[in-house]
Chain A
């Protein structure tokens, strides 16, 4: 389970980083979303992965740590708001800069960059 979980996080992070480096607003929004999914999964796992255990500190030595779940919840809410903001900003950037490139540059078919 640990291997599957860790590779999930890894794949999400690498996709996210790749998309962010595309330097165009829509891929960046997608990349940031993937990145934040990866972060949420990672935070969740910081309390160790356990199955079928009570979520409170009992007398048993193994328990499911409830705190990371609270952290993830907070992170999800904040990430949601930030994504909404960056989407609106990307739309405004598209109209203001005339391009979806983060530097406002237009790339033509021959890959020549015009400012």
Chain B
């Protein structure tokens, strides 16, 4: 049992999805909701157990079907991937809980689809095989296509059409990249690829470079890096907010894949190709931060604003990946968790705010007053402080850490002013949005606003997400130690090879 623990974060969401498709859960919605939340809690417990095991015994390698690497597919649960798996499942619980207040009835199969999405995301985090990464990407994408259409209208169809077509082209490019890399390296196991990369000679080096840069295109598309970010604001703003909150983890899958590929495969030991994507990543990240910050200032409603904040967070993370030091990676890991939680919280808040303001919805204009101004106001304040990066919440710690980590990077004199200016723009944008929405009122509390008081399930979900910001700054010590450990392991080439390929001998 214990050795199969690594597989449970993939297996349990799959079982949950299948169980929720069974007849008794199709007709009775309260059964369905309770089962869905319970099953995701089981998955969360399993992932926490895995986290403890990884903490105690080090990286876990699970050979699927007992075919050892590099011939079979292995799942690698190192501190980084395990932590992200826990984060994904937690986000899943929150979204299932939130949707149980009524959003899940707006279309069919909400609960099974959420579990299948989590299956795909967890698989992408855990797998140690490049082709298997592609397969899990497709699993999470097809679930996301359907979730995107959940409870949708015409605007939604258009955004979904763009999203689906772009991602299909992305998948095709992914396969071409994998084909090139397999052609020159003769393996698809990531650790084995890393090992063979240094041995390449002659023209093969250029082929491998083409493959690696094509992979960059794919991950930039998934992670919404400039200039492939244009799909994101529309897609996230037209999706149901609870779905958008769940999607907060999906751009991070792209970022995580970059982290793996460009630190392990094209890292220090890759010979001629070491750090070959670094300069691309760096400048693209800076451009992404700039575009995201401009988008924040230009947003007309809260959901678009949050979508642009997601773009800024992707830019920040990619800039940290481009630095490629242990310190920068650990800052990236901390910032990744923080930004996922806080953007998800903002999407949910935008939904709650929109419900209580009648026709104005979540637009950043004067509207009718709220039925529950204090509750929503306090939650928004906390989330806004965290996302801007004001002390004492997690955003501030993340920001200080990442500034410190980039201190010795090559182009710091570009990054620091640009990043701080972008922070200022976010500060202006978010505080303008907050003050307009919460302080400028017209007319009376609407009837629909009274009817849409926050449901207990919604409140619970929101509190779990919002409390992440103060908790992450309260426990910043142990968390940063964990992030440092995870980053050290990520950069430790020889140890990765030893653990994954040789079974730790």
Q: Interface on A for B, CB 8 Å cutoff?
A: 20, 25, 28, 32, 35-36, 39-40, 42-43, 45-48, 67-68, 71, 74-75, 78, 81-82, 85-86, 89-90, 92-93, 96-97, 102-104
Q: Which 4 A-B pairs have the closest CB atoms?
A: A46-B183, A46-B179, A96-B157, A43-B179
A82 touches B158 (CB 8 A): no
Stretch at the interface among B45-53, B169-177, B494-502: B169-177
Question: Whose C-beta in chain B lies nearest to the C-beta of A75?
Answer: B175
CA distance A48 to B164 in the complex (A): 32
Whether a CB of chain A sits under 8 angstroms from the CB of B378 is: no
Residues of A close to B154: CB separation below 8 A = 96-97, 104
Within B137-195, which residues are at the interface with A (CB < 8 Å)? 138, 142, 145, 149, 153-154, 157-158, 160-162, 164-165, 168-169, 171-172, 175-176, 178-180, 182-183, 188
Would you call A93 and B169 a contact (CB within 8 A)? Answer: no
**Inter-subunit contact A86/B172 (CB<8 Å):** no
User: Is B135 close to A, CB under 8 A?
Assistant: yes
Q: Which residues does chain B contribute within 8 Å of A20, judged by CB atoms? A: 165, 169
Q: Within 8 Å CB of A90, what residues of B?
A: 161
Q: How far is the CA of A36 from the CA of B165 in the complex (A)?
A: 13
A68 x B145 contact (CB < 8 A):
no
Check if A68 sits within 8 Å of B168, measured CB to CB.
no
B145 touches A43 (CB 8 A): no
Contacts of A45 in B (CB 8 A): 179, 183
Please give, as numbers and ranges, the residues of chain B lying within 8 Å of A48 by CB-CB distance.
183
Q: Quick check: is B62 within 8 A (CB to CB) of the other chain?
A: no
Q: A32-B165, A43-B175 are in contact. List 11 more A-B contacts (CB 8 A).
A: A25-B161, A39-B176, A45-B179, A45-B183, A47-B182, A68-B182, A71-B182, A86-B168, A96-B154, A102-B158, A104-B154
B171 touches A82 (CB 8 A): yes
Interface string of B262-286 (1 = CB under 8 A from A): 0000000000000000000000000
Bin chain B's interface residue count.
20 to 34
Q: In chain A, what residue has the closest Cβ to B137?
A: A78
State in angstroms the CA–CA spacing of A52 and B135 once bound together: 31
> Smallest Cβ distance from A56 to chain B, in angstroms?
13
Residues of B within 8 A of A104 (CB): 154, 158
A23 and chain B: residue at smallest CB distance: B165
Residue of B nearest to A92 (CB): B157
Known: A39-B175, A47-B182, A67-B182. A82 touches B169 (CB 8 A): no
Given contacts A46-B182, A67-B182, contact A102 B165 (CB under 8 A): yes
CB atoms of B179 and A42 under 8 A apart: yes
Within 8 Å CB of B131, what residues of A? 71, 74
Cβ-closest chain A residue relative to B71: A67
15 residue pairs of the A-B complex, CB under 8 angstroms, read A25-B161, A32-B165, A32-B169, A36-B172, A39-B176, A39-B179, A40-B175, A45-B179, A46-B179, A71-B178, A74-B135, A89-B157, A89-B160, A96-B158, A102-B158
Contacts of B169 in A (CB 8 A): 20, 32, 35
Contacts of B135 in A (CB 8 A): 74, 78
Q: How far is the CA of A45 from the CA of B182 in the complex (A)?
A: 10
Q: Are A93 and B158 in contact (CB under 8 A)?
A: yes
Chain B residues within an 8 Å CB radius of A103: 158
- Are B165 and A97 in contact, with the CB atoms below 8 A? no
Q: Are A35 and B161 in contact (CB under 8 A)?
A: no
Q: Which residues of B contact A86 (CB under 8 A)?
A: 164-165, 168
Inter-chain CA distance A93–B162, complex, in Å, is 11
Cα(A43)–Cα(B176), bound, Å? 7
| Nearest CB of B to A21, in Å | 11
Whether B145 lies near A85 (C-beta < 8 A) is yes
Name the distance in Å between A97's Cβ and chain B's nearest Cβ: 6
Please pick, from B138, B171, B178, the residue contacting A43 in the complex, using a CB distance under 8 A.
B178
Kindly state the separation between the CA atoms of A15 and B131 in the bound complex, as whole angstroms. 26
When C-beta atoms are compared, the residue in chain A nearest to B180 turns out to be: A46
Which parts of B396-454 form the interface with A (CB within 8 Å)? none
| Minimum CB distance partner of A42 in chain B | B179
A35 to B180 CA separation, bound complex (whole angstroms): 16
Q: Which residue of A lies closest to B145 (CB)?
A: A85
Choose among B138, B149, B176 the residue that contacts A82 (Cβ–Cβ < 8 A).
B138
A residues in contact with B158, CB < 8 Å: 93, 96-97, 102-104
B176 touches A42 (CB 8 A): yes
Complex CA distance for A85 and B149, rounded to whole angstroms: 12
Chain A residues with Cβ under 8 A from B142's Cβ? Answer: 81-82, 85
Assembly CA distance A42 to B161 (angstroms): 27
> Measured between C-beta atoms, what is the minimum distance from B386 to chain A in Å?
36
Min Cβ gap A22→B in Å is 12
**Cβ of A74: which chain B residues have Cβ within 8 Å of it?**
131, 135
Q: Residues of B contacting A85 with CB < 8 Å?
A: 142, 145, 164
Docked Cα-Cα span, A25 to B168, in Å, equals: 13
CB distance from B197 to the nearest CB of A (A): 16
B246 to chain A minimum Cβ distance, whole angstroms, is: 19
Query: B176 contacts A93, CB within 8 Å?
Result: no
Taking CB atoms, residues of chain B closer than 8 Å to A28 are: 165
CB distance from B307 to the nearest CB of A (A): 19
Residues on A with C-beta less than 8 A from B157 are 89, 92-93, 96-97
A74 to B417, CA, bound (A): 47
Instruction: State in angstroms the CA–CA spacing of A32 and B183 once bound together.
Output: 24
A82 adjacent to B168 (CB under 8 Å): yes
Give the Cβ gap from A33 to chain B, nearest Cβ, in Å. 10
A89 and B180 in contact, given A82-B138, A82-B171 (Cβ under 8 angstroms): no
The smallest C-beta distance from B182 to any residue of chain A, in angstroms, reads 5
Q: Roughly how many angstroms separate A47 CA and B162 CA in the complex, as a whole number?
A: 34
